[in-house]
Structures are given as C-alpha cells and as structure tokens.
A and B are shown apart, each in its own frame.
Chain A
C-alpha cells in the first residue's frame, strides 16, 4: 500500500520519468496496480488547471485508476458543525432530528471513508494488487484511507501498541496538519481557515469497526475519545505542529511530554483496554450498508446524555477481568 500526493502534470501534461520508473519498479512484469484517487474524476481533471492532475494512462500503463470522492476541507467541517448542532437541539421532534441528521451528511462521510478503505483492502487482499492512494495534497483523505485499510487488513494494528504505531506512522509522521485542522472545533464562531475533522472522521470509522467486531480491537471507545480530546487540546506534545519538520524546529520532542508515554503506564493502560479482546488474525471486513452505520453517541452525545450506566457496565466487566 503506497501513498503520495497528486502528480503535478499541469495543463501541459508534464511527465516525470523518475516517478514513472518508481511506480513501474513496484509492479512485477505483467502485474497490474490500482491508483485510488480520493477526488472525483471531474475534480481531478480540473486540478490540472491549477498545476496538479492525475497519472495519465499512457505513462503509467500498468496502473488502473479508481476515483472515490471523499469530502474534506470546509464542507467536512460544515458537516461536523451541523451534526453537533443537531445533537444539541434540546427537544426536537423525531422528524426534525432525523432530517437534521440526514442533512448534516456526516454518516454519509463515514460510509464513504469505510467503503474506500475496504476497496483499498480488497485490492490488496483479494485482487493481490498493489495500491497507490492519493488525493490532492496527500495529507488528509489519503491518510484516512491508508490508516483504515491497515486496520482492516492487519491484526497487529488492532492491538493497543500497534494502533499507536499506526497513528504515529500514518497520521503524525505522515504529516497530517494537526495544528491547522484541529485549530477549531464545531462551536467556533471565528471564520474558518484550514480546519477539518479528518482525524475525528477516522476515529468515528474506527468506532464503527469496534462496534461490528467487538472482540477484535484491543482498545475501547475510551481510547478513541481520549485521542479526539488530545488532538484538539492537549497537555502533551504528540499532536502539536503540522509535520515532523515543524516539530523538530520547535524542538517538540525535547520540550514536551508524549501522550503515548502517559497512556502506556500500567495504571492508565488498564482503562483503555477492551476486556473482550481476543487476537483475531483475520482480515475484518466491515459492513458499509447505510443501515449498519450508526451515530457515534459516545462522542456526539457525550455531554448531552449521561452514559453513566453504560460506563458502569464497562467498568464492571473490566473489574471482573482484572479480578479473574
């Protein structure tokens, strides 16, 4: 599974032999690969006017391109804002609630992300083909797809340690601009610039997986909520800055504490483990039927409806496992 950003073909159909060679050597003789472009075919074509573009068939003959449009940027942030507003509505009628849920389109984005990740996973696991994923910048929807695909395919990403490694690798070191994306959340009045809840969308998709495969993830909802919190505001330096270069300029590693160091302490770790976990070596294929995708109540209704009893139930199971 490879990732990149868009090729800068531009209106003059620039080529880069080295890029073609790089992608060429990855494939064996006669083998085919798939490029999953997270922009719609039209958006990808239009990108050429701005200097970007797609890999032309003639220069990359062994690669077949698939377009799966994933929402990002301002429209995704709007979707998030609308959903949070709908959730905070104190006493709507059922029609109003469902209407607002639908018009927020958030669940549609969850479905699209999971579907695209499944597609990438299928190409690798079922078609035995290599896959290259990119959108425009390669820092948002690209990382969403590659990270989710790895959770689907690789059981080691589903352990607590493996998941932290996945986040480090596919989000933090890969250069997802956390500082820009998580500058503001859903309630901000300030005029938006670069905010977008891509990381939250990823966590929502992970939650959907944990719901459909309750035994297959070593961690529980609590970890996902903690990650959401820390991405937006944290005492730790893990999610600061936009990429490794900025982190080294700001000397983040030297001057701050790591979230992982705190999470991995034995007393803390306990709280985040899933007591039902049992190692599942298989590929886990989530259902992406709309009927299977649910609102992540634990996050979106977190402060609206006390989930005290559900937490009690969870704590009870954990206590029993520890006791045993």
Chain B
C-alpha cells in the first residue's frame, strides 16, 4: 500500500494558516505520507509547521463562497485552521488528511519510517530492563525472584516476558494462578518499600465466579508477601456492588474465608469510558468563549474531571499509607488490571519513593508500571478529546496519571528533578510520536512488531544532555522523604499547562522559568569562582608563610 494512493493533492499554494499565538500567514501546504507540512517563505523569517497525521483527532470543513477552510483539531488539544483557495482543492486535501490520519495498521505509522538526525548515545529500548530493576532489588532483599514463565507470552499475553514474584512460588504455581486471574494477570511485584520491607503487588480480578472458586496457589502467592502474623490490604478499584456483580460474569474478589489475613478496601476509580466523556466535556468547557464565570465553573464541575483527580490521588495515598504508615503489604487490582490498577500503583510510588521523582527514576517507573505492565496505549490513545468517531477503547487514563503527578509537583516544587514540560511531553508522545515507545498495547505486541529493532525509543532522544536540560527543575533538591499530597478539593487546580495551553500564551511563565534557571546557573558559576579565589588565597598565604620563614 502506497501512501501516495491516499494523497489526492500533495501540494497547495496560497494557503493561509491560522494557529494559536501566531498571526495568520500565507504559504504552501504539503502532504506527505506522515506529515502535514506548511511553510511560508518571507523576507524576514520562514515559518514552518510540521504536523504528524497521527496527531490529528478530527477535521471540519467550512465553505465561504469559493474559499474553503479546514479546521484541524489535534490530539494535543491544539486547533489550527487552513484556508485553501478553490473548493475542489480544499475537498481533496480534506479527504487526503482524513485518510492519512485514520490509518489502522501500526506498521504504517511514522515511527517505522523515522530516521533520527541525532547521534544515538543510549538505546532507550534497553535502558530500563526489568533485570536491572531486579538487581537493585536483590541488593536489599532476597525474598523475591525473577521468573521467565511468561517468556513466550503464553501464560499472560499482556505481561512482559519476565516478572518479579516471591521466591517461594515456582513457575508451575504461577501457571495455575494465571488461570485464576482475569487475562492471566497473576499478582506480581510492583514496588518494594526499603524502609520497612513491605511490598505492593498488582494483578487483575480473581475469577471466583458464582461458585466461589478458589486457587490455593493464588492464596499462597499473596500470603508470601506477608510477615508472620501481619495483615495485608487488598485495594479494589471497583465499588463493592460492582465487584460483587462481577461474579455473575465469572469475575469477583478475594473472599475473606480464603484470604483471612487480607482486609479488602474498595476505593472507587472511574471506569475508562466515563473518563473519556469527562475529558471531552472538560476540553469543551476550556474552549468556551462565552466569557461567563458562572458558566465556566459549572461546566468545569459538570465535567467531573477534578473529581477523578481527587479520587485517584486519594486511592494512591491510601495505598501509600498502608505501606508506609500501617507497615502492611498491599495488593491492588480492578477488573482487568490494566487501567486504574496501574494508575494507583505508579502514583503510590511517586509518593513513597524519591527515586521515582528523579528523571531516570520516573522514566523507569513509566516503562515498568505502564509500558511493560501492559497498559493498552494503542487503544487508549487512539483518539483524544476532539474525536468525532464512535468511542471504542479510548480513554485518557495515562493523562489523568500525569496530571496527578503534576498536582503533587505543584504542592512540592522542590521534590521533583523534572519540570512540568516533561509531563506535557509525555502526554504528547503517548498520543502521537515519531518514536515507537508508546506503540502497541503490551510487550507481546511490541515484540511481534519488532519495535526495538525497527523504531527509535523516546528515551534515546530525551535523555541526551541537550534535550534533558530543558526538562530539569531548577529548584530540585534531592530528599529521601515520603511526600503526602493534600487531596482537599480546594488544593486541586486545573492543569493549565495542558488544558489551557492553546488558549493563553504562556510566554511570561516560560520567561519566569528561564529567569529562575539563569539565577541558579549564575549562582553556581559564582560559587565556583569563590572556591577558586579561596584556593588561591590559601596558596598565597601558605607561600607568604614559607617566605617569612
């Protein structure tokens, strides 16, 4: 299949581009297999826009006389408009864009065609292997082991090939447990809290069904994480009624009679379909031009987005409290174990583990708890808030997590090595990217598509010193604390950096950030100079002393 077949008109002149914070400018529009390129050559400066077709959520056509306009709504929430002279040209371009931005097959996506223009110092595909994590773990405890039972992805199709499980559980037992858990997602280690040796595990729902099925191996596995005589907590992200109803479809929850040492807490996190609706309503409210404060506040409330933020933060705090304050092990699961489960476990680690607040630690967290753990990115990020097509599996689950990280970042501005821009970058690349990191739904698919061989990893690019410097937080001071965010609604604010990004220029905020960075840089330079001068003074004094003798 040739891309050229889909492009009815590869080029149009005298097109006017309207985009946020820029004046309208006339130039030439080109369509390639993967990009929409606009360029205007003027005497003083050339303006260019490169837009990945995969970043386009929906397009609208408008006609005024013979001038056609195409309004492009992007997955990163930007809206741009192209005025194209000539109705036929406009229609051709619109349908070309439509076709190019709705390609189904993953192998046609840009990451397979992207050739990096930079020198690759580190291959991001092998930067964050689970084996490396396990090495770090075994330096503090020997209660765990690395299991390759899933190396053909035959036991659990959505898990990675290696997982960390309690030492006392062998591969045979794991196979049995996989049959007892939805989608084969048996409990695995998510996080080990060095301070007190407590563990957080995650899984999917147990398939107890209406007959109250049990699996002794499953019970043994989770009990292996408990200290003798101590209790554990199961955090179920469904309300009790839903968990009970799940039994009729073959699912269920851990029954007290079989798991006597475990106390179950239901901490409801919204299902992903509802999240998508919430997202759409919020973006509509942000674009509302009616200038009415009451309308804005009631639309904000009706979207329920901030409620979801509060729910997730509360659930993560709960998990963290069980581990850090109660000194208990925790098992987190919902139904499938691929959405709210991962939100809770990864956010809890931000709270508990200072390493996750460093740049590399945060990248490792995302690779471990989202990518390898099998969050279905391809499905969830297929459409964003402007999509016209019928919703299937899309939901801003990852975005909600990133926003919660931002809320915590805002409350603890000195505790994160990365800045807000880094979080926004990850949001963008999850939806559309030249890198293959977020393609596919799990490691199984990524291996089949040969992504590590055929595409470049986002980490290879972002971890280069020139790039990384843009994402560092100048106020960062490493601390080893557990940081407890406030979940009071009054403390939670809308993430302007994503939702109001294109409504209001952030030039001044960026200038302020740059100024902060400059102040700190200058301070370091002066410190270095002071140290040099002190040394020279000491030498001179020593010489003088020698001379006097």
- Does B466 lie at the interface of the complex (its beta carbon under 8 Å from any beta carbon of A)? no
- Does B172 lie at the interface of the complex (its beta carbon under 8 Å from any beta carbon of A)? no
CB distance from A279 to the nearest CB of B (A): 13
Which of A98, A107, A276, A312 is the one whose CB lies under 8 Å from B512?
A276
Which of B291, B304, B412, B509 is the one whose CB lies under 8 Å from A290?
B291
Which of B413, B488, B519 is the one whose CB lies under 8 Å from A324?
B519
- Smallest Cβ-Cβ distance to B500: which chain A residue: A291
Which of A96, A98, A292 is the one whose CB lies under 8 Å from B300?
A98
Measured between beta carbons, the chain B residues less than 8 angstroms from A304 are 488, 490
Taking a contact as CB atoms under 8 Å apart, the answer to whether A292 and B504 are in contact is yes
- Does A264 lie at the interface of the complex (its beta carbon under 8 Å from any beta carbon of B)? no
CB distance from B276 to the nearest CB of A (A): 18
Which of B294, B412, B489, B511 is the one whose CB lies under 8 Å from A215?
B511
Taking a contact as CB atoms under 8 Å apart, the answer to whether A275 and B519 are in contact is yes
CA distance A91 to B210 in the complex (A): 38
Measured between beta carbons, the chain B residues less than 8 angstroms from A97 are 489-490
Taking a contact as CB atoms under 8 Å apart, the answer to whether A95 and B504 are in contact is no
Which of A89, A95, A291 is the one whose CB lies under 8 Å from B301?
A95
Taking a contact as CB atoms under 8 Å apart, the answer to whether B489 and A94 are in contact is yes
Taking a contact as CB atoms under 8 Å apart, the answer to whether A297 and B490 are in contact is yes
Measured between beta carbons, the chain A residues less than 8 angstroms from B307 are 93-95
Known: A276-B512, A278-B515. A305 touches B491 (CB 8 A): yes
CB distance from B312 to the nearest CB of A (A): 12
Taking a contact as CB atoms under 8 Å apart, the answer to whether A293 and B293 are in contact is yes
Measured between beta carbons, the chain A residues less than 8 angstroms from B522 are 324
CA distance A276 to B475 in the complex (A): 14
CA distance A102 to B500 in the complex (A): 20
Taking a contact as CB atoms under 8 Å apart, the answer to whether A102 and B504 are in contact is no
Measured between beta carbons, the chain A residues less than 8 angstroms from B512 are 214-215, 276
Measured between beta carbons, the chain B residues less than 8 angstroms from A310 are 411, 413
Which of B291, B296, B414, B491 is the one whose CB lies under 8 Å from A309?
B414
* Number of CB contacts from chain A to chain B under 8 A: 120
CB distance from A276 to the nearest CB of B (A): 5
CA distance A320 to B286 in the complex (A): 37
Taking a contact as CB atoms under 8 Å apart, the answer to whether A291 and B503 are in contact is yes
Which of B294, B310, B509, B511 is the one whose CB lies under 8 Å from A105?
B294
Taking a contact as CB atoms under 8 Å apart, the answer to whether A99 and B293 are in contact is no
- Smallest Cβ-Cβ distance to B483: which chain A residue: A309
Taking a contact as CB atoms under 8 Å apart, the answer to whether A301 and B491 are in contact is yes
Taking a contact as CB atoms under 8 Å apart, the answer to whether B293 and A320 are in contact is no
B284-320 interface bits toward A, Cβ cutoff 8 Å, 1 = contact, 0 = none = 0010000111111110110010110110000000000
- Does A125 lie at the interface of the complex (its beta carbon under 8 Å from any beta carbon of B)? no
B487-523 interface bits toward A, Cβ cutoff 8 Å, 1 = contact, 0 = none = 0111111101000100110001101100110011011
Taking a contact as CB atoms under 8 Å apart, the answer to whether A289 and B298 are in contact is no
- Does A108 lie at the interface of the complex (its beta carbon under 8 Å from any beta carbon of B)? yes
CB distance from B523 to the nearest CB of A (A): 5
Taking a contact as CB atoms under 8 Å apart, the answer to whether A317 and B412 are in contact is no
Known: A93-B489, A98-B300, A309-B413. A290 touches B292 (CB 8 A): yes
CB distance from A212 to the nearest CB of B (A): 7
Taking a contact as CB atoms under 8 Å apart, the answer to whether B490 and A108 are in contact is no
CA distance A92 to B415 in the complex (A): 28
Taking a contact as CB atoms under 8 Å apart, the answer to whether B523 and A324 are in contact is yes
B181-223 interface bits toward A, Cβ cutoff 8 Å, 1 = contact, 0 = none = 0000000000000000000000000000000000000000000
CB distance from A225 to the nearest CB of B (A): 17
- Does A213 lie at the interface of the complex (its beta carbon under 8 Å from any beta carbon of B)? yes
User: Which positions 280-295 of chain A face chain B at CB distance < 8 Å?
Assistant: 287-295
- Does B127 lie at the interface of the complex (its beta carbon under 8 Å from any beta carbon of A)? no
CA distance A102 to B293 in the complex (A): 8
A142-153 interface bits toward B, Cβ cutoff 8 Å, 1 = contact, 0 = none = 000000000000
Taking a contact as CB atoms under 8 Å apart, the answer to whether B526 and A323 are in contact is yes
Taking a contact as CB atoms under 8 Å apart, the answer to whether A102 and B297 are in contact is yes
Taking a contact as CB atoms under 8 Å apart, the answer to whether A289 and B489 are in contact is no
Measured between beta carbons, the chain A residues less than 8 angstroms from B486 are 305
CA distance A37 to B296 in the complex (A): 26
- Does A111 lie at the interface of the complex (its beta carbon under 8 Å from any beta carbon of B)? yes
CA distance A92 to B489 in the complex (A): 7
Q: List 10 A-B contacts (CB under 8 A).
A: A94-B489, A97-B490, A214-B511, A215-B512, A289-B503, A290-B293, A290-B295, A297-B493, A300-B490, A324-B519
Across chains A and B, which 10 residue pairs bring their CB atoms closest together, nearest first? A290-B296, A97-B489, A98-B301, A214-B512, A102-B297, A94-B307, A108-B293, A290-B293, A313-B413, A94-B489
Q: A289-B291, A290-B296, A301-B491 are in contact. List 16 more A-B contacts (CB 8 A).
A: A92-B489, A94-B301, A94-B309, A95-B304, A98-B297, A98-B300, A101-B297, A212-B508, A276-B519, A289-B504, A291-B286, A295-B490, A300-B490, A304-B488, A313-B475, A320-B520
Q: Which B residues have a C-beta under 8 Å from some C-beta of A?
A: 286, 291-298, 300-301, 304, 306-307, 309-310, 411-415, 475, 486, 488-494, 496, 500, 503-504, 508-509, 511-512, 515-516, 519-520, 522-523, 526
Q: Which A residues have a C-beta under 8 Å from some C-beta of B?
A: 86-87, 89-99, 101-102, 105, 107-108, 111, 212-216, 275-276, 278, 287-295, 297, 300-301, 304-305, 309-310, 312-313, 316-317, 320-321, 323-324
